Structure 1
């Protein structure tokens, strides 16, 4: 099982995403692209949530960038812990640059069963 946010982890995420096929996303989520910058003591990792999928590197067309630590990213995006998301936002653990309305789309649009399964599989394959 690869460690979270390592190159091996991104390779595993890519493979699981390819296996998942069509995620049957609602239009609001399908059009959404948010850049995610994870900052930890020693390094910074750039990834994106685009069309319902996590990908290594930033999405050129993203209008919003979120900066947070790795634990917050894991809780919010892999475990779907929305209370952790609100708490992290309110305490400054998540910093937002750009279009805040993108976050509203992320919060109100419902993930498809296929997307939930993909993220559950990614979480299960994460050390």
Structure 2
């Protein structure tokens, strides 16, 4: 079954998938705490707030907001989908350079993550495939 990206149903299914892969994903290449604000969501309230926290060694994505984040990223729904569902690093860089991603805070940590030349781990690739499969 497929759900709209970042809908409540999609988030719940993504959490279930993440739980299946607990302990199997590689260690995060950079320790960072980032709030993410997704705008232009196609339903009310038109924005979703979440965060990424890699300080525990793995990538943790959750709904909400961190009090002490290294940075805050604001981007529109379609760009977030291309990055988080499709895993397209090139979209992230192009969107940033094109002004479709706004970053407040420590940009150097985000760039370190983006510039990591490591190939995509097979487990991470499998997770991205599963996320694509549940996304309408």
Where on the TM-score scale, by shorter chain, does this alignment land: which range? 0.7 to 0.9
1:75-117 deviation line (CA, Å, top 9, x unaligned): 1222122222222111210000100112122213335332232
Structure 1: any 5+ residue segments left out of the alignment?
Answer: none
Secondary structure of 1:36 counterpart: strand
TM norm structure 1: 0.84
The runs of 5 or more residues in structure 2 that have no matched partner are: none
- Going from structure 1 to structure 2, the CA distance change for 1:97 and 1:76 (only over 3 Å counts) comes to same
Q: Is 1:47 aligned with 2:65?
A: no
Select which of 72, 82, 91 maps to 2:79: 72
Which residue number corresponds to residue 97 of structure 2?
90
Computed over aligned residues only, the root mean square deviation of the Cα atoms, in angstroms, reads 2.0
Q: Which runs of 4+ in 1 moved over 4 A?
A: none
Q: TM-score, normalised by structure 2?
A: 0.80
How much does 1:27 deviate? 4.7
**Deviation string, structure 1 residues 41-71 (Cα, Å, up to 9, x no partner):** 7521101222323211123443111101111
